[in-house]
Chain A
């Protein structure tokens, strides 16, 4: 974001001789801090963001990091110019004289609009592209799991006959694509597994599907209700275990299904 000068309008605003070139100082400060900030973001993002257990989650995390990198210079533009002004231009008590007025040059306005529009369009295109990639993945035989929400528990039933009701653990096979078909018996609920990067509302009278997701890491994760659904909304979570296919088959049989 190379900003054109925010300078005085015409001769009246020319800084007096000997006065430091504020605009150059602020821009240098902004560029230096932006570089430091971007490096910091790239280094710390893997630590800050929770580990993801699917390709979908990885892609989401990457988009998140990319957005953060882009936003560092934008935020610092405001922070630096604001902070610089407060330190450099503040008066002691009530000002006795007025400041020299200035107006933005057309170039500055057009440039500013151009830069923000370009950023904006880039984000939109990136977002649509990433979203398309995430949701268009399809394999011919995903594991289909029907998730039914009710106040205040989840019921899961698999196409192979296994079921799990209320405050229990469900298991998913690692490296096999999964699709959740979500609905609700009573009010609006929200179905979300943060680690897998999927989330969709459970609407009464409608069946909604999550994007196809392939868990890549074994481990125990949370499935949570993310729409306020009444009294025990915040207790409406249970564990999702991503396990090896052998373990998964054992579990399916124990839940009354057939592998």
Chain B
């Protein structure tokens, strides 16, 4: 590592500028000015003023936070930043302030993502409990239908956004570069950009609360979203545009990092499966999200410029929206799933002290899922009335996904079979994930099959199904990864008893809640009901009662994190005995990760025998002890 930089920041003023504080101040000023100017220029078009205000906020927020500060210095090929300047950008010697700046260090970005994900999960789960409260009894008792619809929509979109970033954001940024032996991401400043884009979208989205909310739920179906009811809908569209940009920037960055920054010896065959999962996920995201962004731009154009992409009366079609939306909407499920499944495989190997059972088989499973998932979106339109001849291929593709998914199950079960199982909270969450994923996957077959979908589509059964796959499987995988990598990222040890309590409350509450919602769905209850019909009262009440356990689990986890941050004991550098590279670096991880870049000589799963490696290219250096990590420092 080079000598410390000469620049030091000390006074409060130089701490605040540039930082997120100056960004927000400038952003708010920009939003007000743009909103007022456009509002004055274009009378009687609230949406134009609102969208202008959002645009102003975004641009001036990034000016204020200093995103463009380097452009004049280093832009237009004048000169490259020096190493000292790069370290300065990466937040060297800036203490906690580095978390509130446009900091390029991948570990800072990872922590920012982690804090954001946890915050969003907390907010989103509060929305979920409000929904369960309203649905516990028939009739609209606690919220009026308009408020209820907004709560459902906000819960949905907050949870979807945070689930998309939950693994690739925190762990993909913090852990992944260390895992492949890199000092930082390929494009560190784009990395900061992707996080702050996400951040700048959140106030925009929350502003919907002051603009009347939005009635469409998270799917934002046109033409309902085009109806001139409230300007709250603009917040949803704008968030999606910003979020899609953020995800695409992050995806490109992660992809490039893995392509070019792997350390010596880190061949594709030795790449940890977690890295594969994240790469496949961002590849999917990179191709799927543009269509979501385009659909929201079209909705905004319909709203602001009175175009008619989706208005049947003027030649548009709501089916167009549905296709654009679900072309993103179904691959997106696998954008969420792949990194979570890969992280689960990683944890299963470490906590069974056993090599992955059929690493190539599991990889081909993940790759197969990634490919097939592009061809299934049409099953969301089975009952749209379009009745295309493609319904049968969509059905075939959808059910084909269960074959590569089966590889994943076989691999994980084979890994823990006859392993030395260390029942940590992470492994508990992996087991819970498998149990819930089986239920979620099998119920997916009911929805993929045309005759049964005919009665279940758009009902509570669908809600329960995708909560089983997204929450029960993928969020469980996230929490497993959270307990697994938290000691590395934060340097402190979470209380394992509280973590296990978190798991059991969550799992029991989750099964109770959503199994009863399956039953409500079988009875025929539609989704999105502010007013539960009396015939569905019993399963809804049971679901709401079990949701209390989930609420208790949320607060257990929050309490655990708070007491650990305040007074947790320090974690070891290799807390769990893992063999991937992130466990070879000290905790807390130094600014450029490695003193010397490591040279990789084997797969990270060579438990048991020192030289068990699927690829035998090059000389394998036998490692002295089983707990020795896979890398040896370069001499």
Which residues of chain A have a CB within 8 Å of any CB of chain B? 6, 8, 12-13, 22, 48-50, 57, 59-60, 63-64, 67, 71, 74-75, 78-79, 81-82, 85-86, 89-91, 93-95, 97-104, 108-109, 112-113, 116-117, 119-120, 123-124, 126-128, 130-131, 134, 182, 186-188, 190, 192, 194-195, 197-201, 203-206, 208-209, 222, 224-235, 237
CB pair A206–B385 under 8 Å, yes or no, is yes
Residue of A60, A78, A104, A200 near B434 (CB, 8 A) is A78
**CB contact between A50 and one of B399, B402, B524, B527 (< 8 Å): that residue:** B524
Determine whether B503 belongs to the interface, using a CB cutoff of 8 Å to chain A: no
In the bound complex, residues from chain B placing their C-beta under 8 Å from that of A190 are 383, 457-458, 526
The reply to whether B459 and A226 form a contact with Cβ atoms under 8 Å apart is yes
- 8 Å CB contact of A226 from B140, B449, B457: B457
**B446–A60 contact, CB under 8 A?**
no
For residue A99, which residues in chain B have a CB less than 8 angstroms away from its CB? 352-354, 418-420, 607-608
Residues of A within 8 A of B215 (CB): 228, 230-231
A100-B608, A102-B357, A234-B529 known; A85+B417 contact, CB < 8 A:
yes
In the complex, 17 of the A-B residue pairs with CB atoms within 8 angstroms, ordered by the A residue number, are A6-B413, A64-B446, A75-B439, A85-B417, A85-B418, A89-B416, A99-B352, A188-B221, A203-B312, A204-B312, A209-B385, A222-B524, A226-B457, A226-B459, A226-B527, A227-B221, A230-B215
In the bound complex, what is the Cα–Cα distance between A83 and B519 (angstroms)? 25
Contact B385 A50 (CB under 8 A): no
Cβ contacts under 8 Å, A60 to chain B: 451-452, 454-455
Tell me whether A78 and B413 are in contact in the complex, defined as CB-CB below 8 angstroms, given that A63-B452, A197-B455, A230-B224 are known contacts. yes
B395 touches A200 (CB 8 A): no
Q: Bound state CA distance, A103 and B603, in angstroms?
A: 14
Q: Are A182 and B385 in contact (CB under 8 A)?
A: yes
Contact A97 B626 (CB under 8 A): yes
Which residue, of A57, A123, A201, A224, has the highest number of chain B Cβ atoms within 10 A?
A201
Chain B residues contacting A108 (CB-CB under 8 Å) are 410
B→A interface (CB under 8 Å)? 140, 145-146, 149, 215-217, 219, 221, 223-224, 227, 229, 311-313, 317-319, 352-355, 357-358, 361, 383-385, 387, 392, 395-396, 399-400, 402-403, 406-407, 409-410, 413-414, 416-423, 431, 434-435, 438-439, 442, 445-446, 448-452, 454-455, 457-459, 519, 522-524, 526-533, 535, 577, 606-609, 612, 626
Task: Compute how far the CA of A81 lies from the CA of B454 in the bound complex, rounded to whole angstroms.
Answer: 34
> Which residues does chain A contribute within 8 Å of B319, judged by CB atoms?
203
Q: Contact at B418–A100, with CB atoms within 8 Å?
A: yes
Are A98 and B354 in contact, CB atoms less than 8 angstroms apart?
yes
Contact B418 A67 (CB under 8 A): no
Cβ of B392: which chain A residues have Cβ within 8 Å of it? 124, 128
| Bound Cα distance A79, B533 (Å) | 35
Question: What is the CA–CA distance of A3 and B399 in the complex, to the nearest angstrom?
Answer: 21
CA of A27 to CA of B407, assembled, Å: 19
Q: For residue A98, give the distance in angstroms from its CB to the closest CB of chain B.
A: 4
User: Judging by beta carbons under 8 Å apart, are A86 and B312 in contact?
Assistant: no
Contacts of A50 in B (CB 8 A): 522-524
Q: Which of B354, B419, B451, B607 has the most CB of A within 10 A?
A: B451
Q: Tell whether, in the assembled complex, residue B400 and residue A120 are in contact, meaning their CB atoms are under 8 Å apart.
A: yes
Q: Is the CB of A205 within 8 A of B528?
A: no
Q: A130-B451, A204-B313 are in contact. Are A89 and B524 (CB under 8 A)?
A: no
On whether A187 and B609 interact (CB within 8 A), knowing A74-B438, A94-B577, the answer reads: no
Using known A-B contacts A99-B607, A234-B529, determine if residue A81 contacts B217 with beta carbons closer than 8 Å.
Answer: no
Contacts of B452 in A (CB 8 A): 60, 63-64, 67, 127
B74 to chain A, nearest CB (A): 48
B353 near A95 with CB under 8 A, answer: yes
Cα–Cα, bound, A63→B454 (Å):
11
Contact status B455-A194, CB under 8 Å: yes
B454 and chain A: residue at smallest CB distance: A199
Which of chain B's residues have a CB closer than 8 A to the CB of A102?
A: 354-355, 357, 414, 418
- Contact at A86–B526, with CB atoms within 8 Å? no
Smallest CB gap from A12: residue in B:
B609
Contact A101 B146 (CB under 8 A): no
Which residue, of B313, B423, B449, has the highest number of chain A Cβ atoms within 10 A?
B449
A67/B449 in contact, CB under 8 A:
yes
Q: Please give, as numbers and ranges, the residues of chain B lying within 8 Å of A57 by CB-CB distance.
A: 455
* Cβ–Cβ contact B421 & A90, under 8 A: yes
B420-A98 in contact (CB<8A): yes
Partner among B229, B449, B626 whose Cβ is within 8 Å of the Cβ of A230: B229
Known: A98-B626, A101-B607, A231-B149. A124 touches B354 (CB 8 A): no
Asked if A49 meets B358 with Cβ closer than 8 Å, knowing A101-B612, A112-B410, A123-B399, the reply is no
Q: Is the CB of A97 within 8 A of B420?
A: yes
Could you tell me the distance between the alpha carbons of A197 and B451 in the complex, rounded to whole angstroms? 9
Distance of A67 Cα from B418 Cα, bound (Å)? 32
| Chain A residue nearest to B148 in the complex (CB) | A234
Given contacts A22-B418, A99-B607, A117-B403, contact A128 B450 (CB under 8 A): yes
Which of A78, A109, A182, A209 has the most C-beta atoms of chain B within 10 angstroms of its own C-beta?
A78
A131 partner residues in chain B, CB cutoff 8 A: 450-451, 454
Taken together as a complex, chains A and B put the C-alpha atoms of A20 and B530 apart, in Å, by 55
CB distance from A80 to the nearest CB of B (A): 10
Contact of B312 with A98 in the complex, beta carbons under 8 Å: no
If A74-B442, A82-B435, A188-B223 are given as contacts, then 5 extra A-B residue pairs at C-beta distance below 8 Å, sorted by A number, are: A71-B445, A86-B431, A99-B420, A131-B454, A186-B227
Q: A82-B435, A94-B422, A112-B406 are in contact. Are A199 and B383 (CB under 8 A)?
A: yes
**How many whole Å from A128's CB to the nearest CB in chain B?**
6
Q: Determine if A199 and B352 form an interchain contact, defined as CB atoms under 8 angstroms apart.
A: no
